[in-house]
A and B are shown apart, each in its own frame.
Chain A
Amino acid sequence: MRRYETIYILRPDLPEEEIESLSQRFTKVITDHGGKVLNEDRWGVRTLAYIVKKQRKGYYVLLDFVAESDALAELERTFKMIENVIRFFSMLKETDVDLEALEELLKEKQKKPSRPVTDEKAPSEEPAEAQPEPQAAEGGEEEAQPEESAADEHEETEPVEQGV
């Protein structure tokens, strides 16, 4: 069994029931192939960084699941067929997963939720606000605003440019 992480983006204007039914359909594809969905995280409507299929916004859903590779192939085939899915992306997180051991592990983690667990799945939303501030503060001025000015400074390291 392998652990995958899939993100798919739905059109932003879908009614809640439609999202629900699609989500169930995808979950069913995974379970039908002997897999198991560990977590489904709906991020909701977010602004896309660029226009995808004429949409400026998209409804993001993150699926964390354990399955064989044929389940993923089938899932991606399903994504392609449904036009309401405007983009999807899958990533292999782990190979040779022991499903039972993993579920035990996840249960353990849920028991102590007060501590922020530094784990792959955790920083999807929460640290977004929390982290940038302290980083920028101690990272130094350059790293805080590293656009054109940063590029300029670095020409200095090449002596040829300095005379100009």
Chain B
Amino acid sequence: MVRPTKRRRRVFHRRKVCRFCTDNIEIDYKDSQNLRHFTTERGKIIPRRISGNCAKHQRELTRAIKRARSIALMPFSSTATQ
């Protein structure tokens, strides 16, 4: 839970717009390259409070990632080195 916070970041203002809304990208479970942007290196899905996705697209994305996992296109979990 408690992690060292980075002071540098506190001032920084992040662009928090849903990337799927602005750029018109299709969410496709077969397109694992794109989905990979929304997972951590260990394969966890990044919460939308961090990625900035809107609820609708986050739902679609989650579904797509889980589908991709079921056909071994994406990992359920993996070590960072792999």
Interface presence of A9 (CB below 8 A): yes
A140's nearest neighbour on chain B, judged by CB, is B15
Contact with A along B38-82 (1 / 0, CB 8 A): 101111001001111000000000000001011111111010100
**B3 near A124: Cβ-Cβ < 8 Å:** no
Smallest Cβ-Cβ distance to A55: which chain B residue: B72
**Please, which residues of chain A bring their CB within 8 A of the CB of B78?**
49-50
Q: Are B37 and A48 in contact (CB under 8 A)?
A: no
Query: A118 at interface (Cβ–Cβ under 8 A)?
Result: yes
> Is residue A113 within 8 Å, beta carbon to beta carbon, of the partner chain?
no
Taking CB atoms and an 8 Å cut-off, the chain A residues in 89-105 that contact chain B are: 89, 91
Q: Give how many B residues have a beta carbon under 8 Å from the other chain's beta carbons.
A: 44
Q: Is the CB of B6 within 8 A of A132?
A: no
Cα distance, A89 to B9, chains bound together (Å): 42
Whether A135 contacts B23 by the Cβ 8 Å rule is: yes
Q: Which of B3, B31, B52, B76 is in CB contact (< 8 Å) with A143?
A: B52
Q: A146-B50, A154-B49, A161-B5 are in contact. Are A89 and B70 (CB under 8 A)?
A: yes
Q: Which residues of B contact A (CB under 8 A)?
A: 1-6, 9-10, 14-15, 19, 23-26, 28-34, 37-38, 40-43, 46, 49-52, 67, 69-76, 78, 80
Residues of A within 8 A of B (CB): 7, 9, 46, 48-50, 52, 58, 60, 62, 87-89, 91, 118, 120, 123-124, 127-129, 131-132, 135-136, 139-140, 142-143, 146-157, 161-162, 164
